[in-house]
Amino acid sequence: MENKHVGLLVIGIGFIMAGVVWLFNSLLKENINLTCEHGPSCAMHTNLSVQTWISFAIVLIVLIVGVVIMFTKPDEKIIIKTKKIKPKKKKIDKSKLGKREKKAVEILEKENGAIFQRALMEKLEIGKVGMTRLLDKLEAKQLVERKRRGMQNIVVLKR
């Protein structure tokens, strides 16, 4: 929504507030005139005038805010174009890896470098303990990294 429209909306709300304040105060003034036996020296007359001035001051502030909003320029949108730089994939030397380690790295490469630990465990057909030990070895060689996602781990291939 443009500032001009928002400003007009706030000014409209200010005029509605002014009408409500005027209606409320005129009804209250009639009530005081009917019930107060002391005449104009009654404390309720003084309280009513103070209340009226405070109410109209608040309405005036709302109207001023509406005018200010209406005549201010909206912030310009800054668009920054960025290029995604694809990191160069390092070839992983698999000659120093064990049989399971090689297979795990190959699966990770097929899965674009990331897979849930549970899925990798199922593909390798090993248990939890074996999976933990295998990932510990691969992390020690700085080939993979485990990242926590909720209640699961994602195994990410470091490249």
What CATH number should be reported for the domain holding residue 144? 1.10.10.10
Average pLDDT score over residue span 98-114: 90
Q: Number of structural domains, the chain?
A: 2
Instruction: Check residue 41 and give its pLDDT.
Output: 72
36 is in which domain, residue-wise? 3-71
- pTM value is 0.44
Average pLDDT score over residue span 83-89: 66
Instruction: Check residue 95 and give its pLDDT.
Output: 80
Q: Average pLDDT, whole number, for the chain?
A: 85
Q: Are residue 7 and residue 67 in the same domain, yes or no?
A: yes
Instruction: Check residue 128 and give its pLDDT.
Output: 93
Q: Which structure tokens are listed for 15?
A: 């005029």
Q: Is the pLDDT of residue 77 over 90?
A: no
Q: Which of 53, 71, 89 is a domain's end point?
A: 71
Contact 152, 118 (CB under 8 A): yes
Rounded distance between C-alpha atoms, residue 152 and residue 145, angstroms:
13
Residue at 76 is within a domain = no
Average pLDDT score over residue span 2-16: 87
Residue 41: count other Cβ atoms within 10 Å of its Cβ: 8
Helix intervals (H) in the chain: 3-35, 43-71, 99-110, 117-124, 128-140
Q: Are residue 109 and residue 55 in the same domain, yes or no?
A: no
Q: Are residue 149 and residue 113 in the same domain, yes or no?
A: yes
